[in-house]
Amino acid sequence: MTNDQFFQFEADFVESLRCIPMQVRMKLDTCGVKLRLSHWHQFNPQERQTLVAMPCTTVDEARAYRQFLQLLVTEKTGAPAGELPLDPHPLWLDEGTIPIQLQEQANQFGVTLTPEQWAALTPLQRFALIKLSRPGHENKNFFPALKEFKII
């Protein structure tokens, strides 16, 4: 994955980065920081772009990302962002297991995701589908994501 991959379903806000893009949301889960949209809105465009571009895949990169982000949030708000527990085996890295909630969400659109389709997705695509299928969240981009990822 390149460090600046945006999805078509994010196109309405990518130019301004007014919302937190999926690739940054995945980095947040990877480094264990609960960044609020209100925090994101306090960052200037260059800071947002830095958070998009910074790598966050290895343990050292995740540690550096977390440190940079927490310094930035503290500088802007006076306090660090909340923390998330780190999952040693994130679902988006598991090519062999389709999360039940995701399959249930797909079923609502008459779609059955096959193991082959799931395995063929990139970790970022799997992450996006997992996030977009979470209960209690606005899931308007779930169907567009299925189309964009050529599942339907």
Same domain, 32 and 49: yes
Domain containing 119 equals 91-148
SS (H, E, C) 12-40: HHHCCCCCCCHHHHHHHHHHCEECCHHHH
Q: In this structure, what DSSP letter does residue 147 have?
A: H
φ and ψ at 60, to 5 degrees? -65, -40
User: What total number of domains does the chain contain?
Assistant: 2
Query: In whole angstroms, what separates CA 69 from the centre of its chain?
Result: 15
Please indicate, yes or no, if residue 60 is contained in any of the structural domains: yes
pLDDT of 3: 43
Tens-of-pLDDT digits for all 152 residues of the chain?
334 589 998 988 877 788 899 999 999 999 999 999 999 999 999 999 999 999 999 999 999 999 999 999 999 999 999 999 999 999 999 999 999 999 999 999 999 999 999 999 999 999 999 999 988 766 789 999 999 999 99
Q: Is 113 domain-assigned?
A: yes
Q: Please give the pLDDT value at position 1.
A: 35
**pTM listed for this prediction:** 0.91
Domain stops at, among 83, 104, 127: 83
Q: Which of 88, 57, 52, 51 is nearest to 69 (CA)?
A: 51
Q: Domain check: are 20 and 45 in the same one? A: yes
